[in-house]
Structure 1
Amino acid sequence: MTMTGESQGGAGRDGPLWWDRPQGAVLDGGIAAVSAAECAAEGVAFAHETGIPTALGVLFGVLVGAVVLLRWRWPVAVVLVGIAVAPAAMGIVLSVVGLYTLAASEVPRRITSTLTVLALVATFAVMYVRTSGGVGATHGVVLVLSGVLAVALNVVPVLLGLYMGARRRLMESLRERADSLERELLLLAERAEERAEWARREERTRIAREMHDVVAHRVSLMVVHAAALQAVAAKDPVKAARNAALVGDMGRQALTELREMLGVLRAPVQVRSAVPAPVAVVAEPVAVGAAVAAGPEDGPTLGELEALVGQSRAAGMAVDLDVRGAGGAYPAEVEQTAYRVVQEALTNCHKHAPGAKVVVRLAHRDGEVAMQVENGPGAADVARPELPSGGNGLVGMRERVQGLGGVFVSGPTDAGGFRVSAVLPGVAGPG
């Protein structure tokens, strides 16, 4: 009775009726039948004592006993009915079940305490009156017997109901916490997937930017040399052969750099087995990024700017390199970013301003390094090489510089040329 009744939930003044709870319908129906049968049997004695017809007494007992069906909706009313019929010596099952339900429900404890005291007094009084006329029963024995029966029929059901109510509330609390934890885990999984997707997008963007910066410059120089080779092939075979050798060198360098990048991308990512699976889902794209980002230690440095400028000079571009200040020990990513900015700016000069005068400035300051590539207007008599442009060069430079906490500015000059300027902190910023 106790476990099944409590398992239905909703115990209290606003709980469901017994027929609204299919799992408890059979049990409540059985309790109601027992209560009605008990009250009907006691109704016979009640009819004899009051002089009313026996059938009326039985009907009254059946109606009183059936009130137990309402115990989950109106437990207070059921207990009050039990107290009211206590002088008629009927409704023991009704009273016991009603008090248990009242204590297990959400009815305020002060009401439960008041009704329990009333039921205890009523039961004690009825028992005392009923047993005081017993043969050989002393007054003390009657008091003790009445008190024991009153406690057994009223206090015990209330204590059991309080225990079951507390247990039910604890189970509901644990269930709510489990549901809340499940929702939090689902939310964490969704956020982990979002972070993983964000990391994958960032990694794809970074790889695309790296491929653009590494290959575009080499290929642009190869196209420029190939155009020069085509122009002088018939007039100056020696120069043509030199240009052909330069094209071959550029191609081999481009292939070497591509193989190095692909080798890094193909390298297996080491993930410790001790890391839980949800963390590994997030850590994998980051680990890939870390593996590829390990390249800056082996990448280009500021010391290679002279060779970079020399390649553009060999392709026929008039380039001046102006370095000011003493270079410091910059992080690898700072030096590589500075190199890539100059490289991409020179590539754009080859594409959009052939024959123009180009000045590359590099300044080492306290705590930062600044670079600027400025070209004048392109020469009108120099053929513009057919170099495709993806439109991502300036975007990639800006992303690189801002990723290290630097400042990037680009735009046309008053003289009709174009200027690219960047300032990087001497230590790696929030990349």
Structure 2
Amino acid sequence: SLAVTPLVSVINGDGQDWPWIPGAMVCHLVVLVVVALRTRPRTAVWMWVLTAAYAFLADIFFGGYYSNGGPMLVSSAFALLLVCLWHVRHTAQEQVTAEQTVTAHERSRRTLLEERTNIARELHDVVAHHMSVVAIQAEAAPYRVENPPEELERAFATIRVNAVAALTELRRVLGVVRAEDYEAPDAPQPTLADLDALLDNVREAGLAVDKAVTGAVRELPPGVELSAYRIVQEALSNSLRHAPGATARVEVSYVLGGLGLRVVNTAIPQNTLVKPSPGAGHGVTGMRERVSMLNGEMTAGPTDDGGYEVAVFLPVTAPNEDEA
């Protein structure tokens, strides 16, 4: 552009506009802006410096002509300044977006790890409780039989030794996930038998909820009972936070291959005065972790009427009759 500018002025030959005729001035400004948009602000500064040097040289060697170098430099400086400001703002936005993405990823990862830690703690407490019961019963069993055979005493002693060893190893491996100030609960972990108490607490908090149970109620493995209770608890907590004024329903289905859960709430009433809690939260992530741990299936999403539904199936393998 700088090389063509004097050539065009000479060809024009009127001597009224030097060193830029109007068309050349507009073209040069367009070149400066386009190049500045596609490069760094430092390049814009160098282009303006070269343009200023050309204008000064033109004034020195061709001082007899009317010079429009001053208006050109002012116009180009203003245009390049706007482009540089746009560059700075665009770069800042990209950095903020990247940092927000990293922060959201780290927050999600930290929440996932915390949820896995909580699950490991709860399972540790459940398994440790039952292993302790096995060890105690194995130790006390020989004393419940008068003159037990020596083979029976040795068998119970072996059971107790193995139970204590397994309990020690379990505490050693899973104990690393505990916080230093964490204390195992004295009471047993909640099960589906405690759902009524949970629903009463939720009703006192303001959520109208009812329960429906289908199928033959039976005792399930402790891990399934605990996970099912926690899933219902988290789903109802989400309904309280994100759907104030709505009603909820809990469905528990005992089927042949496992346990089905369905927690659904209605849409938020239009006349409610309580506002939903902001943010999506990570409750659904925790529920998916529990379901994945038990090789189950889960779906969660809005319903057609504006509510929200969480459906879970937790498989339960039936014990072999020979092993029983």
TM tier relative to shorter chain: 0.3 to 0.5
- Higher RCO, Cα 8 Å, sep 6+: 2
| TM-score under structure 1 length normalisation | 0.33
Larger Rg: 1
Select the structure that is richer in helix.
1
| TM-score under structure 2 length normalisation | 0.43
